[in-house]
Amino acid sequence: MPKALPRLQEPPLIGSLRSFRNERLELFNRVRRECGELGLFRVGPLSIMLVNSSRALQEVTSLHADAFEGGLAVNALLPIFGRYSLVLLPNKEHRTYRKIMAPTFQPRRVSMFAEPMVKATLEAQARWTDGQEIDVGQEMLRLTMRIVGKTLLGLEVLDEADDFGAALTTCLEYSNHLVANIVPVPLWLPTKRNRELKKALAFIRGMLMEKLSSRRHAGCPATQDFASMLMGVRGEDGQGLSDEQLRDNLIFIFSAGYETSANTLAWTWYLLSKHPEVYERLRKEVDEVLQGRAPTYEDLASLPYVHQVVKEVMRIYPVAYFFGREARRDVEIDGYQVPKGTFAAVCPYTLHRNPEYFPDPERFDPDRFAPEQESKLPKYAYLPFGAGVHACLGVHFFMIEAPLLLATLVQRVHIDVLPGQTVKPVVEVTLRPSRILARVHHRS
């Protein structure tokens, strides 16, 4: 007989709505503390089950993944990413299209993007004058947007990418508003925010459809980018993706590929500034391996500490801090009864703070990911990229991009975060740091 899920003590009617809006990370920590590895809380009418045990995580994301689909978060994002976006597809279609699209994201394919990644980073660094003050988050956003613009669509930065970027920023702001407000203002109401979103979406979709159609007319595209690779994929029936399917997935990949990456890199500079000994060791490894030349894909295997730093940043500040889907039927998870309609949520932020796997969890220590330590971690203890049927397809792209970008910058500049700032996590669709100001010093 399955047990009832442990429940958080909370006010009647609205439940934890206020904490969910104003102090979300503290709420998740409280659920973990008071309920244990599986805990239920309410946000208005919505029941949310926070999943923190490895067995339950495996069941929710893989073994019983067929019982979980859609839900409020997925529905809210549909107007932006569109109904064909892989991450939002109903389970049956998701299985088919993930199989078709996944090979495009394999290391062998995405490794060819290493060169444009390093080139964009060198250009960004060359624009900074010695002693210049920068907003770290904004600079990382600009850089990752350029990289995604180039690798996804062959966009040659600036004007085109910037208009596109501005429209994407409007979409991102809209999704942040949705995440904060739970019950969104219907899109048909002519509010300022709704009008701006519709205008931005019309621009993005129009531009993508135009590009796809001109590529179809031109035959085989000259550039090798995500768009051309996805145009070439075929299912078992020999069918490729329609322009609408390509458009929606390109919008999602663009959004998934720049903001998450930029926020992780911004957290990296912040943590390095707080841990000069880690910064020094990182610089030593980069200098010794590269001997002054720009890094390449082949160098990545010789830069283990750079990878360890990125992984530890993603443990402490997993930018995808909360995601999940709704139970479409009653289902038993790890011996507990999960009623239909419950939203099963994975929260890497609390998961990564389990002292059983990460002793003294608030301590920043990249050696936790030294190969002999990392190999001892249980499978579901560390999930910055999700797990199971919806696990991130961009993981290889990011694990090429972040180390290359970090190595390139560490080699050429010192990013000196200005003292006296209070940097806090800002909890939106992703977990980003508040503004970080730094001074850039060129290294001789």
Q: Under the rule (CB under 6 A), what is the footprint of ligand HEM? A: 86-87, 98, 253, 256-257, 260-261, 264, 319-320, 323, 384-386, 390, 392-394, 397-398
Minimum distance of ligand HEM from residue 151's CB (angstroms) = 8
Residue 94 CA neighbour count, 13 Å, CB half: 17
**305 close to 366: Cβ distance less than 8 angstroms:** yes
Distances (CA, A) of 222 to 119, 164, 247, 342: 19, 22, 19, 48
CB nearer ligand HEM, residue 93 or residue 367:
93
Residue 88 CB, nearest approach to ligand HEM (Å): 8
| Cβ distance to ligand HEM smaller for residue 290 or 353 | 353
* 43 vs 387 by CB, closer to ligand HEM: 387
Closest to ligand HEM by CB, 333 vs 440, is 333
CB of 155 to ligand HEM, least distance (A): 15
Residue nearer to ligand HEM on the CB measure, 86 or 168:
86
Shorter beta-carbon distance to ligand HEM: residue 290 or 432:
432
Tell the smallest beta-carbon distance from residue 190 to ligand HEM (Å): 31
Residues 6+ apart with CB under 8 A from 347: 28, 50, 51, 52, 321, 322
Q: How far is the CB of 287 from ligand HEM (least distance, A)?
A: 26
Nearer to ligand HEM, 140 or 303 (CB): 140
Q: How far is residue 262's CA from residue 254's CA, in Å, rounded to a whole number?
A: 12
Q: Which is nearer to ligand HEM, 320 or 333 (CB)?
A: 320
Closest CA to 254 of 353, 351, 174, 150: 150
Interatomic CA distance for residues 189 and 235, integer angstroms: 39
CB of 265 to ligand HEM, least distance (A): 9
**Least distance from ligand HEM to the Cβ atom of residue 264, Å:** 4
**d(C-alpha 402, C-alpha 405), whole Å:** 5
In the chain, how many H helices and how many E strands? 17, 13
Q: Closest residue (Cβ) to ligand HEM?
A: 394
Q: Quick check: 325 and 343 in contact, CB under 8 A?
A: yes
Q: How distant, in Å, are the alpha carbons of 8, 82, 101, 153, 230 from that of 215?
A: 54, 21, 19, 11, 12
Strand order in the sheet with 68-69: 38-43, 46-51, 343-346, 323-327, 68-69
Helix (H) or strand (E) holding 41: strand 38-43
3-class DSSP state for residue 130?
coil
Residue 394 CB: number of other CB atoms within 10 A? 18
Residue 189 Cβ vs ligand HEM, minimum distance, rounded to whole Å: 27
The residue to which tokens 């890497």 are assigned: 348
Output the smallest distance, CB 145 to ligand HEM, in A: 12
Using the minimum distance from each CB to ligand HEM, give the nearer residue, 87 or 427. 87
The least distance separating ligand HEM from the CB of residue 59, rounded to whole angstroms, comes to 15
Distance CA 143, CA 323 (A): 26
Measured CA to CA, the distance from residue 257 to residue 423 in angstroms comes to 24
Cα 50 → chain centroid: 19
Which residue lies nearer to ligand HEM by CB, 311 or 439?
Answer: 311
